[in-house]
Amino acid sequence: GNSVTQMEGPVTLSEEAFLTINCTYTATGYPSLFWYVQYPGEGLQLLLKATKADDKGSNKGFEATYRKETTSFHLEKGSVQVSDSAVYFCALSRSGYALNFGKGTSLLVTP
């Protein structure tokens, strides 16, 4: 079936450090891939998406590239801020109906 695996957290970084959160997926065909972010006490917000191989999604300094050959969609940011502290979810949509989510990676950025 369709599934998403992302790195376990929590991840703790100092402000201005480089961030990578790994995400790999298993799916037939050509899913769309998403990163959602959940700030404390809030719902999920779409951070970025990619709908076909080699697409790069980007938003607020975050980037992720859809790599079909490695079935990956790793999230990166060059310089994190304290305000980036949140839980990050990788997700795929194969059918256009359900989103299949990874377990989430908690990020804490310290000043």
Partner 1 sequence: DSGVTQTPKHLITATGQRVTLRCSPRSGDLSVYWYQQSLDQGLQFLIQYYNGEERAKGNILERFSAQQFPDLHSELNLSSLELGDSALYFCASSRSGGDVKNIQYFGAGTRLSVL
Query: Contact residues for partner 1 (CB under 8 A)?
Result: 30-32, 34, 36, 41-46, 49, 51, 89, 93-104
- Closer to partner 1 by Cβ: residue 5 or 17: 5
CB atoms within 10 A of CB 83: 10
- Are 68 and 60 in contact by the 8 Å Cβ rule? The answer is no
Min dist CB 14 to partner 1, Å, is 28
Respond yes or no on whether the N-terminal peptide bond of residue 111 is cis (omega within 30° of 0): no
Min dist CB 36 to partner 1, Å, is 8
> What tokens appear for 95 in the block?
């059918």
Min dist CB 65 to partner 1, Å, is 17
